[in-house]
């Protein structure tokens, strides 16, 4: 109590020295900026897709993180293109990836192979956006615009039943409070019924002096019991 907390400021630091980083002749990013003079910054990079390392042939899953050297290597129009270089955590091989602004993706430069998991959206009946060429033809070619409109109407007619089912399913879950209330009410009723059956089974075991658990009575058990008849052996 009464003791003053130690100061983090060095004893010979004066305001005219500027910042503490300037006083210590260090960069605010410390070791991450050790190659900043070469245009390289060390960042925490997350693998954007599944790959196989060319050095050890091991699989590296999407989301695995590395300390990667980030460097600008060019431009796509006004968008910078960055390259990331990292060492495989299973061997001494280095992997290099690069941004691809044209396709909004990453491409492997060296050191690895991508696990191909891409597909054509048209194969899965997805609605594809119009390309710039199609938009230009729609604006300038009346016959193409008419054919395109007919095709769109056919696609809409085929998709209407599926869209209707999706809308009905979405509407069914819209009242989440009511659904939750009904589920909780049914859970309480089932719990009450189960407790009554357990009490009845416990009373029956105590009356008959049984130590084995009793199963729940089913309709098939009642039917078979009704078919049984008792007769003397002779």
- Where b means 16+ CB within 10 Å and e means fewer, 165-184 reads eeeeeeeeeeeeeeeeeeee
Q: 10 Å Cβ neighbour count for 214?
A: 14
In this predicted model, what pLDDT tens digit does every residue of 63-74 receive, in sequence order? 999 999 999 998
> Whats the size of the chain, residue-wise?
234
In this predicted model, what pLDDT tens digit does every residue of 152-191 receive, in sequence order? 788 778 888 888 888 887 777 777 788 788 889 999 999 9
More confident residue, 88 or 39: 88
How many whole angstroms separate alpha carbon 234 and alpha carbon 232? 6
Per-residue pLDDT, 58: 93
Q: Going edge to edge, which strands form the sheet with 105-110?
A: 40-46, 65-76, 79-87, 94-100, 105-110
Per-residue pLDDT, 12: 60
How many whole angstroms separate alpha carbon 79 and alpha carbon 90? 33
How many whole angstroms separate alpha carbon 15 and alpha carbon 173? 63
Q: Where are the domains of the chain?
A: 15-114, 129-173, 175-206
pTM here is 0.45
Q: Which secondary-structure segment (H or E) carries 120?
A: none
pLDDT band at 98 (very low <50, low <70, confident <90, very high): very high
Per-residue pLDDT, 37: 72
**Helix or strand or coil: residue 109?**
strand
pLDDT average, residue stretch 81-100: 93
**What contacts 49, CB < 8 A, 6 or more positions away?**
62, 106, 114, 115, 117
């Amino acid at each position: 109590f009464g003791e003053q907390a130690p100061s983090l400021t060095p004893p010979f630091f004066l305001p005219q020295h500027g910042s503490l980083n300037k006083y210590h002749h260090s960069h605010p990013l410390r070791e991450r900026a050790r190659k900043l003079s070469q245009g390289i910054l060390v960042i925490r990079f997350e693998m954007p897709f599944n790959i196989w390392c060319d050095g050890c042939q091991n699989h590296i899953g999407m989301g695995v993180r590395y300390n990667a050297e980030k460097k600008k290597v060019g431009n796509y129009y006004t968008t910078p293109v960055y390259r990331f270089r990292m060492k495989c955590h299973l061997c001494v091989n280095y992997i290099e990836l690069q941004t691809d602004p044209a396709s909004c993706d990453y491409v492997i430069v060296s050191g690895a192979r991508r696990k191909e998991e891409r597909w054509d959206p048209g194969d899965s009946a997805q609605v594809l956006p119009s390309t710039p060429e199609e938009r230009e033809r729609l604006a300038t070619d009346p016959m193409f615009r008419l054919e395109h409109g007919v095709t769109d109407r056919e696609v809409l007619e085929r998709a209407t039943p599926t869209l209707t089912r999706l809308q009905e399913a979405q509407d069914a879950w819209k009242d989440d409070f009511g659904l939750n209330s009904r589920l909780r009410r049914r859970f309480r009723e089932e719990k009450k019924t189960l407790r009554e059956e357990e009490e009845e089974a416990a009373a029956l075991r105590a009356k008959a002096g049984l130590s084995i658990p009793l199963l729940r009575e089913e309709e098939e058990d009642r039917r078979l019991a009704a078919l049984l008849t008792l007769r003397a052996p002779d």
